[in-house]
Amino acid sequence: MKNPLLEFSDKGIYCPKADVYLDPWKPVQKAIISHAHADHSRWGHQKYIAHEYSVPIMQHRLGAIEVAAKKWGETFSINGVRFSLHPAGHIVGSSQIKASYKGETWVFSGDYKVHNDQYTTPFEPQKCSVFITECTFGIPAFKWPSQDQVFHEIRDWWQQNAAQGVTSVLFGYSLGKAQRLSYHLDNSIGPLLLHPVIHAHNEVVNSVRKLPSHQKLEREVDPKTHRGALIIAPPNAQDAQWLKKWEPYKTAAASGWMATRGARRRRGYDTGFVLSDHSDFSELNTAVKATQAESVICTHGYTEIYSKYLNSQRIRATTADTPFEDEPNET
């Protein structure tokens, strides 16, 4: 493609006409950010542009940054290129970034999920010439159960543990998954406690999207007075010393990776719940078709396999390497 509107550089996805980067992975002058996860929103840029819901989360994670807040669908121009942000459904504030110039429109998906989790602003497909899509779970083996089914399974697991006097420890990423769990679970079965990192994130997210109030897990909290508790914690707390205080306990993880045979066992969880903030294979196909794009560029995930599949469906697809991570390392 001659003089593409967006291109992949050593710093990020770059728009030469506007001299702006999308989710850059190296420090740049101006960055448009799809969402606040650490692999997409990095420290060191001079100026940031993001959805208004992402701004306080980014400030919480990155500190004092210069950031301009935009609303859904609000058009802003940079050197003649028109940009706008549209819901991606991944986490609170997550956005697809649309860029248009002289009749050509590109959309960068960021991370997204098509199914509506009833908390995050739902994904809205955007028609475009070129669609840059993630494909974290871009193989047919990944097919998500309904959210209602998963939360029913979580509540049953918690209920069974509580009946035996066992603490339930549920691991979920501190930004995104933890808010989804916090929104859909309550203390009807037993005490619900949030790891301090998750509690801090919830307080920030609550400023833009209301969450139920749950107790913070502090050192002073006595397990004897919190029998049958459910603790929501980030995955990196799995081997923390404080867990011994809550013995006996059982662990579980809420993640799309729990759909993979052996993933729960390899990571040492007692139970796994298939709950992802990314699209499964079918949802990726739904999103791609809805864009009516002439060309698709597949980034992080099963890029080679998914692009090959799209080409077999007569959708022109290529791949591009990016350092975006595929969920497991997001605390």
Give the strand order in the sheet containing 215-216: 215-216, 192-194, 230-233, 167-171, 249-254, 271-273
- Please, which pLDDT band fits residue 242 given cuts at 50, 70 and 90? very high
pLDDT above 90 as % of the chain: 94
What's the whole-number mean pLDDT along residues 108-118?
Answer: 98
Q: Which of 182, 170, 188, 192 is nearest to 243 (CA)?
A: 170
pLDDT of the residue at 158 = 98
Give the strand order in the sheet containing 13-15: 7-8, 13-15, 20-22, 30-32, 47-51, 67-70
Helix, coil or strand: residue 179: helix
pLDDT at 329 over 60: no
pLDDT at 160 over 60: yes
327 vs 89, residue with greater confidence? 89
- Please, which pLDDT band fits residue 1 given cuts at 50, 70 and 90? low
pLDDT of the residue at 218 = 95
Identify the architecture of domain 7-141+277-319 in CATH.
4-Layer Sandwich (3.60)
DSSP letter string, 17-76: TTTEEES-SS--SEEE-S-SSTTTS-TT-SEEEEETTHHHHHHHHH-S--EEEE-BT--E
CB atoms near residue 17 (< 10 Å) = 16
Q: How many CA atoms lie within 13 A of 262 on its CB side?
A: 1
pLDDT of the residue at 108 = 98
Dist CA 173 CA 253 (whole Å) = 9
What's the whole-number mean pLDDT along residues 66-82?
Answer: 98
pLDDT above 70 as % of the chain: 98
- Please, which pLDDT band fits residue 331 given cuts at 50, 70 and 90? very low
How many residues in the chain? Answer: 331
Are the C-beta atoms of 121 and 86 separated by less than 8 Å?
no
Q: Domain 147-273 maps to which CATH number in 3.30.70, 3.40.190, 3.40.50, 2.60.40?
A: 3.40.50
What are the sequence ranges of the domains in the chain? 7-141+277-319, 147-273
Name the DSSP letter for residue 148.
H
**How high does pLDDT run on average in the chain?**
96
Q: Look up the pTM and report it.
A: 0.96
What's the whole-number mean pLDDT along residues 67-78?
Answer: 98
Residue with tokens 């420890």: 169
DSSP letter string, 283-324: HHHHHHHHHT-SEEEEEEESHHHHHHHHHHTT--EEE-----
Are the C-beta atoms of 108 and 34 separated by less than 8 Å?
yes
CB atoms near residue 268 (< 10 Å) = 10
pLDDT (tens digit per residue) in 164-205: 999 999 999 999 999 999 999 999 999 999 999 999 999 999
Q: How many CA atoms lie within 13 A of 98 on its CB side?
A: 24
pLDDT (tens digit per residue) in 251-308: 999 999 999 878 888 888 999 999 999 999 999 999 999 999 999 999 999 999 999 9
